[in-house]
Structure formats: C-alpha cells, structure tokens
Structure 1
Amino acid sequence: MTDTSAPAHRQRTTSTTALVVKILFLGSVAAAAVWLIPLLIGLKAWLWLTFTVLTVAAIFALYTTKRFIPGKYIFPGTFFLVVFLITPIILTVGYSFTNYGDGSRGTKQEAINSITGNSVQQVDGASRYTLTVGTKGAVEGPYTFFLVDQSTGEAFTGSAEQPLEPVEEDAVSISSGRVTEADGFTLLKPREVNDHFREISDVAVTVDDTTAVRILDAGTAFQGTKVLQYDEAKDQIVNTATGEVFTVGEVGGEQAFVDADGKRAFSQSWLQGVGFDNYSRLFTNGSVGAQFLKAFAWTLVFAAGSVITTFALGLALALALNDERIRGRRLYRSFLLLPYAVPAFIALLIWSNFYNQDYGLINQLTGLHINWLGDPTWAKVAILLTNLWMGFPYMFIVCTGALQSIPSDVKEAARIDGASSLQTTVKVITPLLLVSIAPLLVASFAFNFNNFNAIELLTGGGPFPDNEFTRGGTDILISMVYRIAFGGSGADFGFASAVSVVLFAITGLLAAFQFRFTKFLEDVN
C-alpha cells in the first residue's frame, strides 16, 4: 500500500515556507516605503518619490496575485537595470542642459540666503549662542547648528537652508547650557569643528531679512546684521553700507546677480536650465574644443594600442605554448597568469613607483635617466607599457582557449596542401581564432576607451601644462570629464555631463562600427 502522506506533508511545508517568505518580503518592502516616502517628500525629490511609489505598487501587484507570472521573474532584472543604468543616463542627460556645479546647486532663494548670510557682521549687544554643530552623515557636511541662547537658555536650530527656529523639547538633550544629543544627528567634537572651521564658517542661519547667525569659534555663535539685504519687490540685493545695488542679469548663458557694469557680483548662482549652451561651449569654444580633440585622439591611440599590443603578445605566447613538444607548459602558463592575479589598483600604484625618474626600478636597472611621468610623450609610453603588462594575460587565456577549440585536422589539411607552419598560422589558424575572440576584442576596446583607473592611478592625468588643470598630457576623455567635474578650478557638473553624453555617443558609434566589421569574419566558417 502506497503512503501518500509524506509527499503531501512536504508539499504543505513548502507552501508554508513560501508564504512566510512572501509575507516577510512584502512586509520589508512596505516598511521601506513607509520610511522612505516621507523622507523623499521632505526633500522634495519628486522624481524618486514617483519611482518609489510605482516600484512598490508593481511589487505588490506582481507578488500578491497569481497573475503576471512571467513578470515575477522579469521584474528584478528590470528594476536593477532601471536603477543602475537607465536612471543615471537620464539624469546625466538632464544635467547636461543645466548649469549645475559649484555655486549653482540650489534654488534662487538658497543662493540669496547664502549671499546675504555671508555678509553678516557683529554689532554691539548682539545675541550670543552656545554652539553645537551636527551632521546627518559625513563630517564634511552639510551642517546644522544647535544653539542655546546664553541669556535666556532657549534652544534653537537651523542650517544654511533652514531658517532659525525653536527646537522641540524631546528632540535634543541639553547639559550645562549646551546641546549634547540631537535625534537623527551626529554632533561634531570641538576638534572636528576646528578641522572644518572654514566650511562651517560659510554657514549662515537666517533669522529674518536683516539678521543671521554665524559661527564665532568652535563653541560659540553670534547673531549679526546683514550688510547685503535682499529687496524682494525689486528682485535685487542692496549693500546697506555703500548703497550699491545688484540686479539679476545674464552672465555666460545663466542668470546671476550683477553689478552696475553687468559683471557677475557673487560666486553664487542657482540651478537653472541653459539649453544647449554646454554643448555649444564644447563645439564652438576654440580652447575647449582643442582640448577635447586632443583627448579624443589620445583616447583612440590608448584604447587601440592597448588592444593591439596585448592581443599580439597574448597570441604569440599562446601559439608558442600550444606546441605539444614543449615540456612544462602548465608551469609556464601559470607564471604568465601572475600579472592577471595582482589587483589592478595595486599593480598601477607599484608601476607608478617604477617610473620614478631618480629612484625608479626601470631607470636604475637600465642606467637611463628618462623622465617617464614628467614628459608627455614618455608618460604615454609608460601607460601603454603598463597596460600591456596588465592586459596580456587575459588575451593569453582567451587565445589559448580558442586555439584548443580549433580541430587538429584543420592544421593537418593545411600541411597536406603544402602550407608552411607560418602560412598555416597566418592564413588558417588566425582567421578561425578571430571568429571567436573578435567580440572580446571589441569589448576590450570599449573597456580601455573608458579605462579611468589606468590613467588616474599611474599618472594622475599629468603632466599638466602651466596654469592648466582641465586636461593633462595623458588624460583620456573619461579622466578629462572627471577633472572638469571635480577639478581644482571648481566643479562644473553641467558641462561635464554634456561631455559625458558626447562620450557615450562616440563609444556607442565605435562599438557599433566594430561589431559591424566583425560580421565579415563570420564568412570564415
């Protein structure tokens, strides 16, 4: 007699486990939504709020019913594709039509608060506060002030974006006339305040149209009068000490406060659309266009040179060690894979020391005195040599696998037809090998076209011309974009985004051309 109770019991156990997992998963999603949605509303991040709501709705629609079964498997991959690939592309394209950068990241009101707040001066009899500085993350800011009035003992809080307001009693703990704890904030120690005093001193907490609070020392703040005051009716800033008036004007395709001569008066502006100005600057500004073309030319040379040299060396070694007459082939192959086993980050830093002009290993062993990293030409040679050392093991592995997949009777047939070993390799083996590895060569070219680490860790993009920090002698396009966005002259994310969009289009066109070219190899089969 057959016992059917065990399979039924296992089926019930499986169903119960699946139900518990589903409940835990959906509960976690709901909890995350309850926590995240109010936060996004407070930050006025409407795009991410919409995305979050749609995602949560889709999860509950898919996983609480027995419909849309294919969608249950497609959704996770689609979700991560949208979050990590499509969304960054959309945001980059969006920023390329703005002036987003240092001094133009917030709203117009935030810019006005910053401009007028930075003009605060102390006056006799001004209020003094015991100051505690808090952050919600990194010590580098943004900063929130927690203030206790030294005369009344009342507690207040505020930041560059949030005007001064009383603190809720349960939100902070006060000891000896100072805020010692604040819900949701990490409070900086006096030493940390001193370390970041320059950044904190830029924070001005608005009290009203004419006064603001600024830091005096690591534990004290003062309420002072704004020398620069904003006239909302006339949309202008007035210097109350000199009577000078600053109005809104257009400077370089964006709006900013200007003086009587139409020149930009303050470094602060506000986030605004500039249309195609960033693209126009790239293609019409002679200095910028020349740098872009030089970077593009070197990028092509670097990417193509890296692929050609690594493939040539990898193929040569693979052909040599594919000969069955060589003893110890496995040992030799293991040694050749060692450069591939060393993390690229470490290898690049080590090689940068090898190229030191005075103490580097290369100059000491060869007796040369080449300024490898100080001369633009030699620096390019150093990058190609280093990339060759790091990249040939990969090509060696690929070529070895492709050679072993070619039938031996093909070689025998070539020899019977009278072909020499060289002719067999060039006219028979190599074309068959290219059929299988051509897509990998295309992928390697695309990787090196955007190989930021090889440039930044080895040469830092240098050497740099005098008084020029936008592009160094070895900067490829991607490292040039990095220098524009985070360079010493100030971040210009809008323009960097425009260059990134152009770079994305160029990479796509080159990849499409290469894949089209590799189709001709299919006829070899």
Structure 2
Amino acid sequence: MGLSASKQPPAKLSIWLKVLLIALVVVLNGYAIIAMYANGEFAFALLTLVIVASGVYVFTSKKTYAHRYIFPGIAGMVVFIIFPLVYTIGISFTNYSATNLLTFNQVLQQFESKTYTDDSGAFKFGLYQRGEDFEIIVEQGELLYSTGPIELDSQSAVSIAHELSVLNAKPSEKPLAIKAVIQNKDALDKLILVTPNEQELVRKGLREFAGIKPLFTPLLQDGQSSYSLPNGETITSEFAKLNVKDGRILIPNMETGYFQYLDDQGELTGRGLKPGFTVGVGWEHFKRVLTDEGIKQPFVQIFVWTVIFATCAVVFTLAIGMLLACLVQWEELKGRAIYRVLLILPYAVPAFISILVFKGLFNQNFGEINMILGNLFGISPAWFTDPVLAKSMILIVNTWLGYPYMMILCMGMLKSIPDDLYEASAMDGAGPITNFFNITVPLLMKPLAPLLIASFAFNFNNFVLIDLLTGGLPDIIGASTPAGETDLLVSYTYRIAFQGDGGNNYGLASAIATLIFLVVGALALLNLRIMKKNAN
C-alpha cells in the first residue's frame, strides 16, 4: 500500500501536466483560428480547426491510443501535401490574381472609405507650441478656428478627429517654422479637424487643410428597394454606389470581379476599377488553355519540350552513368578509386553553383566555350538567343549534373550481377560490347525502372535549372502569357503566376499546375505498378 501510495502523486502530476498542455494548445490555436477567420482566411482557419480537433481527440481518447504515433505524420501530410494541393485546385476555378487578391467585402470597404477634396477652398493653418502640446489655428478668410492644446501622435494607427472652436483673434506670437510642420508631418496627416458646421478638414499641403467628403454613397437610401434608370431599367443591388463627384453609378460585376460604372444605357462600361475582388470563374482557365491560341500554342509547345527534355535527361544521364560505372568497375583499370572520386564530384557541388558556372562558360561574348570554338572553328554560337542551341545547352548542363547519380546507382547494381554470366559469355566468344548490351543493360534496367520513372518526374519539374540558366528565354513570339522556348511547364506556370503583365494570374497558373499534377500523378501510379510487378 505504501509503495502504491508513493506512486500516486507523480501519476496525478503527469495527468495534470497533460491537461494543461492540451488546454494551452487549444487556447493558442483557438485564438489563431478566430484571428484567421476574422481576416477572411476561412480555408486556413478550417484546416487549423480540423487538425487541432483531431489531435485533441486522438491524444485524449483511449479508443485512438495506437493512432497517436502516426498522427504527426498524417497531420504533416495533410498540412504540407493535401491542403496545398486542394487549395491550388480551388484557386484554379477563381480569378485570383494580383489585381483580384481581396474579398468582396474588403474591396467594398475600400470604395466606401474613398474621399475627395470638396470645393470649399483651402484653410490655411499655423502650428503653435503650447508647452509639450501643440495648437493648430485654421483660418479661411476672416474666420478663425482653433483645436486648443492637443498632442500630436504620429504612432496612432487610425485617424484622430478634433473639434474646432471659433477663435476671435490670432495669437500675438508667430507660428512655428515650416521645419516644425515637416517634423510633425505624420501626426498632422492623421488629424481630422471638424468645424462647428461639421465640415471635416484634412491636411492638404504644408500650410493648408481642406475639406473632404465621401466619394461614394449608397445608391439605395434607407427604405429604397430599387433605383430606376432613365431607360426604364431598375437597379436592385444593395452594393450599388453613387459617385458624388460626377453622379455616375458604380455597381459590382460578379462575373469579372470588378466594380464598374454604368453608361447612359445602363450597360457596364470600362475595364473595372482596381482593386478587384475574387470570384469563381468555373472552368474558364482550363478552357483558355485549350482554346486561346495565345495560350494553347505555347502550352502545347512547352508541354512537348518538357516531355522531350525529361526523356532526354533520363536517357543521356543513364547512358553516360551506366557506361562510366562499367569503366570504373573494370578491374584492369588502374587508379579506379581516383576516377570514381573525380566523376562523382559534379554531384557533390551544389547544383545552383554549377549552373551559374555553366551560364558564364556559355556566354556568347565572354564565355570560354565560345572562345575555344572561335579559335578552333571561327564560330560563336548564340547559346541563349537561338531556341535550338538554348535547348541543347540545357541538355548538356543537365547531363553533367545528373550522370553521377546514375553512375552511383549502376555501380551498386553491377556488384549484384554474377561473374559467372560474363565468364560463360566469354567462353562463347563474346566481347565487352556484346556483354554490355546482352548482359549488363538487361539486368540493370529491371531494378532501375522505378528510379528512371522517378528521375523522369523530377526532370519534368526541374525548375531550378531553367530559372538559373536561361530564365525560359528566348520568348515565344505571339504568346499572350509569359512563355519561353526553353520553359518547362513548371517554369511556365511560375512566370504566369509571378511575371504576368497587367496582374499576376494565379488562377491560370493554378490551372496549369493542376494539369501538371495530373501528369506527374499518372507517372507516380505507373511507378507503383512497376514496383509491384517487380516485387511479384
């Protein structure tokens, strides 16, 4: 009894510590969920809620005791693989772009907060020192207004309103010099001065305040359910706005994701006012890829080049890697260890360094490669401007970077081939070349097949090589999106997402990324089928 009693306090302590830890996790993540929901990040709020709720259930329920060991891995897969994939696919069905980043409510608030300077004229002002505070005296003609002693707070995150009172006479002292106004510029910019007749003034210049009014007011006033246009049509949108300055009507276009003005016939006119808001566009981006010649032609061309590049990358690296592996395994070769080290060095050097070195070597004007070609043959190839030469250069550099990996794989697999096969073949009079094609290659290809598929998938998305070496250049003539002759699908997607003219088109880029996922996913399934077949 005494022994069991002595063990009770530590057990209770561990239980309380577990409860406190779970409570802390719930409180912190609960606050994060509320903050994300308040900022309109509904998807991230829902993801956090699901992960935290699942985690609390798994780690507190006896029924799920065994699952707590695999929960971190599953949660990581959901957060870093499944959620980004689903989120990307979701974006592909929207007009999400640099000009359509915000939600409808955020854009609506921006238009409602727009103001303009009215025609009441400018109000000159003077800044006076009052101890540690300041006094602002505003004048318009013979009228004088004063804020009284106020504190100028430049750290305030919002505008501060101060009511003005009528002043009978100017102070006897002179206002502070313009230097003091400049020093307090940020604080003065946050002031809203309200005159006795409720006119709001904001700083317009170094020595002036001016009246401001809301630029847009609701078209439908209280109690109104519709607004009739001169042509007889009616507007029922509660979000319609009236431009006070010019009398034009502004309404949201839920198809394009922009606020647009109406013309005299009640039709939407213009391209829309920025910023725009995010709306669903259905299969529009996928249709553009298939029907818009400015996108379809570059997409097909880049897709074909991507497949050719990935295939050639695998074939070239495998051929050179396998050949070199056989040579360095040749027992008659002296200094094999040194050759192995030298041949593996390209794999040891970081890829981005090697790529930048090759970029300098292939430079048309100052590169060592053109210097040698010029001295020997009198030619200076345009490696970066000619599409064929640029693609050839990419394959050369990629082969240099990739052959050591294949060589290492083949070196390990060559040891598993029985020497008896080569001895029997030698007795039949076969030479090294015959043995290579009849014994070595067939026996290596079967275990290498899944790795070759994985290599194909890697090169299919080899963004770093293209981005650092050519940047996708030279450009494809006639393309309506950023597209280059040497672009792979992954770099093409990146350029659409982050280098597009007139607003980065994340929606279109996500649609192309979804198509890439389908292709790479098919390769992954093929890889699994081959591995399963080999296992059997």
Bucket of the pairwise TM-score, normalised by the shorter protein: 0.7 to 0.9
Structure 1 unaligned regions, length at least 5:
131-148, 167-189, 194-200
> Residues 346, 23 of structure 1: CA spacing in aligned structure 2 closer, same or farther, 3 A cutoff?
farther
Residue of 516, 520, 524 corresponding to 1:507: 520
> Residues 223, 51 of structure 1: CA spacing in aligned structure 2 closer, same or farther, 3 A cutoff?
farther
Aligned partner of 2:447 in structure 1 is 436
> Residues 243, 47 of structure 1: CA spacing in aligned structure 2 closer, same or farther, 3 A cutoff?
closer
SS of corresponding position for 2:72: helix
SS of corresponding position for 2:393: helix
**Following TM superposition, by how much is the alpha carbon of 1:425 offset from its aligned partner in structure 2, in angstroms?**
1.4
Aligned partner of 2:403 in structure 1 is 392
Q: Provide the rounded CA distance (Å) in 2 between the counterparts of 1:157 and 1:122.
A: 28
**Following TM superposition, by how much is the alpha carbon of 1:20 offset from its aligned partner in structure 2, in angstroms?**
9.7
| 1:284-323 map, 5 Å | 284-323=291-330
Q: Provide the rounded CA distance (Å) in 1 between the counterparts of 2:305 and 2:55.
A: 47
Aligned partner of 2:496 in structure 1 is 484
**Following TM superposition, by how much is the alpha carbon of 1:257 offset from its aligned partner in structure 2, in angstroms?**
1.6
Task: Look up the equivalent residue of 1:471 and give its one-letter code.
Answer: A
> Residues 121, 399 of structure 1: CA spacing in aligned structure 2 closer, same or farther, 3 A cutoff?
farther
Matched, 1:97 2:93: yes
> Residues 21, 449 of structure 1: CA spacing in aligned structure 2 closer, same or farther, 3 A cutoff?
farther
Equivalent pair of 1:246/1:265 in contact (CA under 8 Å): no
Matched, 1:242 2:254: no
Matched, 1:495 2:488: no
Residue of 29, 36, 42 corresponding to 1:33: 29
**Following TM superposition, by how much is the alpha carbon of 1:63 offset from its aligned partner in structure 2, in angstroms?**
2.8
Equivalent pair of 1:306/1:387 in contact (CA under 8 Å): yes
**Following TM superposition, by how much is the alpha carbon of 1:321 offset from its aligned partner in structure 2, in angstroms?**
1.2
Q: Provide the rounded CA distance (Å) in 1 between the counterparts of 2:37 and 2:359.
A: 48
SS of corresponding position for 2:415: helix
Equivalent pair of 1:259/1:265 in contact (CA under 8 Å): no
**Following TM superposition, by how much is the alpha carbon of 1:381 offset from its aligned partner in structure 2, in angstroms?**
1.0
Aligned partner of 1:134 in structure 2 is none
TM-score (norm 2): 0.73
Aligned partner of 1:451 in structure 2 is 462
> Residues 232, 270 of structure 1: CA spacing in aligned structure 2 closer, same or farther, 3 A cutoff?
farther
Equivalent pair of 2:355/2:469 in contact (CA under 8 Å): yes
Q: Residues 8-62 of structure 1: CA distance to partner in whole angstroms, max 9, x if unpaired?
A: 9xx99x9899879967864663454254233224324333333323323333333
| 1:104-253 map, 5 Å | 104-115=100-111, 120-121=116-117, 124=121, 152-153=150-151, 224-227=212-215, 229=217, 231=219, 234=235, 235-249=239-253
| 1:18-29 map, 5 Å | 26=22, 29=25
Q: Provide the rounded CA distance (Å) in 1 between the counterparts of 2:513 and 2:504.
A: 14
Q: Provide the rounded CA distance (Å) in 2 between the counterparts of 1:286 and 1:358.
A: 36
SS of corresponding position for 1:463: coil
SS of corresponding position for 1:433: helix
Q: Provide the rounded CA distance (Å) in 1 between the counterparts of 2:268 and 2:327.
A: 72
Q: Provide the rounded CA distance (Å) in 1 between the counterparts of 2:490 and 2:43.
A: 27
Aligned partner of 1:174 in structure 2 is none
Q: Provide the rounded CA distance (Å) in 2 between the counterparts of 1:286 and 1:110.
A: 35
- With 359-368 and 455-464 compared, the bigger mean Cα shift is at 359-368
Q: Provide the rounded CA distance (Å) in 2 between the counterparts of 1:443 and 1:24.
A: 46
Residue of 244, 257, 260 corresponding to 2:260: 257
| 1:51-62 map, 5 Å | 51-62=47-58
Residue of 381, 384, 395 corresponding to 1:373: 384
SS of corresponding position for 2:250: strand
Residue of 474, 477, 483 corresponding to 1:471: 483
Residue of 349, 355, 361 corresponding to 1:348: 355
Asked which structure has the greater CA Rg, the reply is 2
Q: Provide the rounded CA distance (Å) in 1 between the counterparts of 2:209 and 2:70.
A: 56
Identity over aligned pairs, percent: 31
Q: Residues 351-393 of structure 1: CA distance to partner in whole angstroms, max 9, x if unpaired?
A: 2122211111211222241111122221111111110111111
Matched, 1:71 2:59: no
**Following TM superposition, by how much is the alpha carbon of 1:419 offset from its aligned partner in structure 2, in angstroms?**
3.2
Q: Provide the rounded CA distance (Å) in 2 between the counterparts of 1:381 and 1:274.
A: 40
Q: Provide the rounded CA distance (Å) in 2 between the counterparts of 1:307 and 1:17.
A: 59
Q: Provide the rounded CA distance (Å) in 1 between the counterparts of 2:160 and 2:253.
A: 33
Q: Provide the rounded CA distance (Å) in 2 between the counterparts of 1:18 and 1:333.
A: 56
Q: Provide the rounded CA distance (Å) in 1 between the counterparts of 2:367 and 2:150.
A: 66
SS of corresponding position for 1:371: coil
- With 461-470 and 379-388 compared, the bigger mean Cα shift is at 461-470
Aligned partner of 1:333 in structure 2 is 340
> Residues 281, 417 of structure 1: CA spacing in aligned structure 2 closer, same or farther, 3 A cutoff?
same
> Residues 521, 37 of structure 1: CA spacing in aligned structure 2 closer, same or farther, 3 A cutoff?
closer
SS of corresponding position for 1:337: helix
Task: Look up the equivalent residue of 1:475 and give its one-letter code.
Answer: D
**Following TM superposition, by how much is the alpha carbon of 1:512 offset from its aligned partner in structure 2, in angstroms?**
3.8
Q: Provide the rounded CA distance (Å) in 2 between the counterparts of 1:15 and 1:503.
A: 53
Q: Provide the rounded CA distance (Å) in 1 between the counterparts of 2:504 and 2:287.
A: 19
Q: Provide the rounded CA distance (Å) in 1 between the counterparts of 2:346 and 2:148.
A: 64
**Following TM superposition, by how much is the alpha carbon of 1:250 offset from its aligned partner in structure 2, in angstroms?**
6.5
Aligned partner of 1:196 in structure 2 is none
Q: CA RMSD in A?
A: 4.1
Task: Look up the equivalent residue of 1:482 and give its one-letter code.
Answer: Y
Task: Look up the equivalent residue of 1:79 and give its one-letter code.
Answer: A
Q: Residues 64-94 of structure 1: CA distance to partner in whole angstroms, max 9, x if unpaired?
A: 4554232011111101000000000110111
Equivalent pair of 1:157/1:165 in contact (CA under 8 Å): no
**Following TM superposition, by how much is the alpha carbon of 1:317 offset from its aligned partner in structure 2, in angstroms?**
0.5
Equivalent pair of 2:466/2:487 in contact (CA under 8 Å): yes
Q: Provide the rounded CA distance (Å) in 1 between the counterparts of 2:211 and 2:79.
A: 44
Q: Provide the rounded CA distance (Å) in 2 between the counterparts of 1:16 and 1:437.
A: 56
> Residues 265, 335 of structure 1: CA spacing in aligned structure 2 closer, same or farther, 3 A cutoff?
same
> Residues 38, 249 of structure 1: CA spacing in aligned structure 2 closer, same or farther, 3 A cutoff?
closer
Equivalent pair of 1:102/1:492 in contact (CA under 8 Å): yes
Task: Look up the equivalent residue of 1:407 and give its one-letter code.
Answer: P
Q: Provide the rounded CA distance (Å) in 2 between the counterparts of 1:428 and 1:221.
A: 90
Task: Look up the equivalent residue of 1:302 and give its one-letter code.
Answer: F
> Residues 223, 100 of structure 1: CA spacing in aligned structure 2 closer, same or farther, 3 A cutoff?
farther
SS of corresponding position for 1:318: helix
Aligned partner of 1:172 in structure 2 is none
Equivalent pair of 1:120/1:212 in contact (CA under 8 Å): no
Aligned partner of 2:140 in structure 1 is none
Q: Residues 321-357 of structure 1: CA distance to partner in whole angstroms, max 9, x if unpaired?
A: 1111111111100001111111112221222122211
SS of corresponding position for 2:366: coil
Task: Look up the equivalent residue of 2:219 and give its one-letter code.
Answer: D
